[in-house]
A = this chain, B = another copy of it.
Amino acid sequence: MTRDQRLAQAAQTLNCPMDVDIAPGGSYCPVVRDERMLYVSGQLPRLNGVMASLGPISAQPAAGAATLAQAQKAARVSALRALMLLQRTLGSLDSVQRICRMTVYVHCTPDFTQHSEVADGASELLVEVLGDIGLPARSAIGVAQLPKNATVEVEITASAHFAL
């Protein structure tokens, strides 16, 4: 299977159509390409217009709080959107040389400390689709809030085989 076929398969598993609207929700570019580098805007876990997970994740179950499984799925959805944007920019994921860096912002209460486990949801999607070159340098950070009350936001920087 090619990378593009594996992306389509991952999208199907998450019930996300490949032509899903990923329009920017503000004044920014979804992806900036500068020579070999691709800077993908921070992705929220929106799927078919609905946020995959809302609210902070907390150590103890709480009203309005996300569970670890929800947050991991949200990280996966955000990473899927980032790969879809890379594919649309490059034509095919075959042109990706490396996922260089990923920052996973986790909206959490101060008692939550499993940010790495949440971020693994995003890493696993990248490796499933891209193989070894999908495993990024990573930072996982716990933050007070995210746009639209999303549970995670995933920011990816990648390189392509050829410069523009």
Contact = CB atoms under 8 A, between A and B. Distances in A.
Give the one of A39, A99, A112 with max B CB within 10 A: A39
Contacts of A36: 35
A138 B153 CA distance: 11
Given A113-B149, A116-B26, A157-B101, A32 B141 contact: no
A94 interface: no
A27 B117 CA distance: 9
A141 to B, nearest CB: 5
Interface of A: 25-32, 34-37, 39-42, 56, 97-103, 105, 107-117, 119-120, 123-124, 127, 135-149, 153, 155, 157, 159
B124 A141 contact: no
Given A34-B100, A97-B34, A101-B39, A108 B28 contact: no
B137 A28 contact: yes
Nearest to A102: B28
Nearest to A139: B42
A29 B120 CA distance: 12
A159 B162 CA distance: 17
B143 A40 contact: no
Given A108-B145, A115-B146, A147-B116, A138 B28 contact: yes
Contacts of A117: 26
Contacts of A149: 113
A105 to B, nearest CB: 5
B138 A26 contact: yes
A110 B41 contact: no
